[in-house]
Amino acid sequence: MANATPSILESRQDQIFPKLDEVEIERLRRFGEVSCFAAGEALAEVGKVNRGLILILAGEVRTTRRDPRGRDELIYTHSPGSFMGELAQVAGRPSLVDSRTVTKVQALIISPEELRALFVGEAEIGEKIMRALILRRVGLIEAGAGGPIIIGRSDDGNVLRIREFLRRNGHPYQYLDPTRDDDAETIEHLHVGSARMPVVLCPNGKILPSPPSEDALARCLGLVRAIDPGRLYDLAVVGAGPAGLATAVYAGSEGLSVLVLDCRAFGGQAGASSRIENYLGFPTGIGGMQLMARAYTQAQKFGVEMAIPDEVGTLEASPSGEAQWALRLINGERALARAVVIASGARYRRLQLDNLAEFEAASVHYWASPLEAKLCAGQEVALVGAGNSAGQAIVYLARRARKVWVLVRGDSLEKSMSRYLIDRISGFANVEVLTGAQITRLDGANGVLDSVTWRQSGDEVTHRIGHLFLFIGADPNTDWLEGTGVDRDSKGFILTGSAAGRAGAHSLETSLPGVFAIGDVRAGSVKRVAAAVGEGAQAVAGIHALLLAGANPPSPGA
């Protein structure tokens, strides 16, 4: 029997657990404070915010992870020159591992604020540290260490929703299926009854009510915290897709205080893309989630505050004398900012079928991630769409599904899909493209799809299909701007510059001074990742000019 592929924690030890030499340690002393600890003392505990990055100067520390039964498994024993921490320490979030001293320990404690200063002030050492922190998070995700335990059937829509939420936010988790014998034994040990499923057990011991909401889970894990209602940010960004994250990175790197809000996860539609092959600088392509995770981490490196998931309900002028706007969140919180960038992207379009919602939790999907690919492995699936996102999903699914039926409403793919994707799709024997085809009926029971019926050339055919993928475009996510005074076109896209009646204003500024719109949500924008990133950088130039001018925005509608 072939040996199993080694985990990243095993295969890349030198990069994940590098040792700093005496010269490097001396250069870092100015960023921290030296502390001493007795043998057996806890330096980090799962579910609790710890001190930050801990550089060992003398002694040894064991870092462990917990399995679902609460047993400790050794990850690494730190000794002088090694450092403890992973990406949670950059943002000051709860620890995903336990660390306890083996002997007396002397260590340099570097707080999250000073760690971010280190990345800027000592770029070479900072690169080594950042690479290790990123790889450690990847290893923890791979192992499911430090995150919540999700218990429920694999075809339960709420289980799929929670697993996808955590995956899209780059957070580890462990999943137990009560129908599998090995998992059932562990679940019995956890004393969780089947009537309560799906259940989520947080690392801090809290059990979330069923079905658990994403907001409740995020707050239980410490992914999002309450926003200080009295703090005035230089910039608030609504939306954490490519455009919003680009704005955050450029603004944060120039010293602006930035708050990013998103109602679900970072990455937007780009983060749901299985592979992006036409983005500058990546000749072999890059996964959408991989690219967006790098941008998310990069923004945090520059001190950007992330509020995800936090949904904005409306925008209004603040009565304060300073130049600022108020963002009212649907949970009742308020965020104040001198300038606002709207990068709220778009919502996936849905087929006009009466029972579509019945299957959306478990069988109808709007992206093709590893989770969906695992669910439909070896099965026949149907995909509706003819754009580049559809093409990327077809290529991804074709390598895993037995057959992919591609339903195109128009007469060809050439009108809307890049040539390289069309050529690649034509090389798959298990992909069949049907033009002039339209789905007419979905059948199934208890939220699980059983068959799909479509019409082509006047004839209807039905196939046994358990998973349907929809890539039929998106509409601008701008309903929340109703009554705010932000002008939109007839389709709901935001008007900017001269189109918004703002002669002489920045080309990305809306009808409200100090409020900018970028990316897919903006009327006339190029719907590409590179264009969104460019607009994010361009908006920062306009924001700088605004902040220097210190203009007060008028009330909406004035």
pTM: 0.88
The pLDDT of residue 320 is 66
The pLDDT of residue 505 is 86
Walk me through the domains of the chain, giving residue ranges and CATH numbers: 8-143 (2.60.120.10), 149-221 (3.40.30.10), 232-347+476-549 (3.50.50.60), 356-472 (3.50.50.60)
Task: Decide the pairing of beta strands 258-261 and 305-307.
Answer: parallel
Closest CA to 335 of 239, 228, 234, 238: 228
The pLDDT of residue 194 is 64
The pLDDT of residue 554 is 42
Cβ contacts of 395-399, under 8 Å, gap ≥ 24: 395/274, 395/275, 395/421, 395/424, 395/425, 395/428, 396/274, 396/275, 396/368, 397/368, 397/373, 397/469, 398/425, 398/428, 398/430, 398/431
Please give the structure tokens belonging to residue 271.
Answer: 């983060």
Determine the Cα–Cα distance for residues 27 and 32; give it in Å rounded to an integer: 11
CA angle, residues 378, 382, 383, in degrees to nearest 5: 120
The pLDDT of residue 552 is 45
The pLDDT of residue 1 is 40
DSSP label of 493: P
Mean pLDDT by 10 residues, the chain (558 residues): 62 91 98 98 93 97 89 94 94 94 98 95 96 95 90 89 94 92 83 78 89 92 93 96 98 96 93 85 91 96 96 88 84 96 93 93 89 91 95 95 96 93 96 97 94 94 96 93 96 95 90 96 92 96 87 43
List the alpha helices (DSSP H) in 363-410: 370-375, 388-398
**Pair 307, 224: CB distance under 8 Å:** yes
Burial (0-12, 13-18, 19+ Cβ within 10 Å), 464: exposed
The pLDDT of residue 555 is 42
Closest CA to 279 of 535, 528, 537, 518: 528
